[in-house]
Amino acid sequence: MHLKMSPASSDSVPPKSENTVTQTITIANPKKEQLRLKYKVTYEQFGVEMEQSGDYHDN
């Protein structure tokens, strides 16, 4: 299994903006193994450090 992450589309989102920041992840899984990903996103909002995390499973 091989994972490739592209750079984020930006390092900031201006206040009151409808814009988003995206990042593409490409996974090569030639053996078709079960996939499980954990992710963590950190950012600052109103001067406060925030963190969100979770899992992805392909059952």
Per-residue pLDDT tens over the stretch 21-33: 999 999 999 999 9
Average pLDDT over residues 30-56: 93
Task: Give the start-to-end residue ranges of the domains of the chain.
Answer: 2-57
Give the burial class of 2: count Cβ atoms within 10 A of its Cβ; 0-12 exposed, 13-18 middle, 19 or more buried: exposed
Q: What is the per-residue pLDDT for 14? A: 83
Phi, psi of 36 (to 5 degrees): -140, 125
